């Protein structure tokens, strides 16, 4: 397993309390969500859809990623191979 890093952030206490309650209702913790979001940002190179402030920028990024995949000269993989 890779070494882990500690992240600290300041947030309004009421926001944290409300978010903790909402996340607890779906079986997640605040650290779980931080890990999920940061992992997706690292993997996808952008904020997950729905979290982006500029939908046009996200749409342009997504279209570029689709075009990149379409232009990939490697043979397509079947679902079973992925």
Q: How high is the mean pLDDT of the chain?
A: 89
Is pLDDT larger for residue 10 or for residue 56? 10
Is pLDDT larger for residue 10 or for residue 2? 10
Where are the chain's structural domains?
13-72
- Judge whether 16 and 8 are in contact, CB under 8 Å: no
pLDDT over 80 at 66, yes or no: yes
pLDDT attached to residue 2: 78
pTM over 0.75: no
pLDDT over 90 at 27, yes or no: yes
pLDDT attached to residue 1: 59
Residue 3, SS3 per DSSP? coil
């Amino acid at each position: 397993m890779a070494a882990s890093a500690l992240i600290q952030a300041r947030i309004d206490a009421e926001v944290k309390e409300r978010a903790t309650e909402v996340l607890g209702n779906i079986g997640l913790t605040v650290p779980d969500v931080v890990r999920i979001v940061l992992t997706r940002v690292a993997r996808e190179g952008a904020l997950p859809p729905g979290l982006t402030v500029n939908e046009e920028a996200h749409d342009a990024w997504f279209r570029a990623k689709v075009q990149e995949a379409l232009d990939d000269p490697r043979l397509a993989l079947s679902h079973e191979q992925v």
